[in-house]
């Protein structure tokens, strides 16, 4: 299932978690929305997810190359080589940025003028909690 984007009418949060463990890299559903349980879980897992794409399963066939841009809320079907290259570059840049942010974990939360502040997190899964500490 590596490098697979799932296209479905709907998906339960438990199905999403199972598919993510099996290597799914993105999700598109015909129903659901930005505040659905699946959407929240997908964000927590770092998976691009776009909901509410009517007739997605009729437009997208197995084996097609897709770009799921959850930040912009768009799906590109069969992108050209140039666009694919730009998105891969963007993906690498985001990975580098996440790595830089991981290095700051454990550092005190402090404003630029030296004031210590409390930093809180809200988690729904054990993975959320492990990310917060």
Q: How confident is the model at residue 97 (pLDDT cuts 50, 70, 90)?
A: very high
Cβ proximity of 53 and 27 under 8 Å: no
pTM of the model: 0.76
Q: Identify the CATH number of the domain defined by range 4-132.
A: 3.50.30.10
Query: Domain segments of the chain: what residues?
Result: 4-132
b/e map of 63-96 (b: 16 or more CB within 10 Å)?
eeebbbebeeeebeeeeeeeeeeeeeeeeeeeee
Q: Tens digits of per-residue pLDDT, 8-40?
A: 999 999 999 999 999 999 999 999 888 888 999
């Amino acid at each position: 299932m590596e490098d697979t984007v799932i296209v479905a009418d709907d998906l339960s949060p438990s199905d999403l978690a199972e598919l993510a463990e099996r290597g799914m890299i993105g999700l598109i559903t015909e129903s659901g929305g930005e505040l659905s349980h699946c959407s929240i879980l997908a964000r927590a897992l770092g998976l691009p997810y776009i909901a509410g794409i009517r007739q997605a399963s009729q437009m997208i066939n197995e084996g097609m190359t897709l770009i799921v841009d959850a930040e912009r809320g768009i799906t590109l079907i069969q992108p050209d080589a140039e666009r694919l290259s730009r998105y891969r570059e963007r993906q690498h840049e985001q990975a580098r940025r996440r790595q830089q942010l991981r290095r700051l974990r454990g550092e005190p939360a402090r404003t630029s003028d030296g004031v210590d502040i409390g930093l809180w997190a809200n988690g729904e899964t054990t993975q959320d909690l492990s990310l917060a500490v």
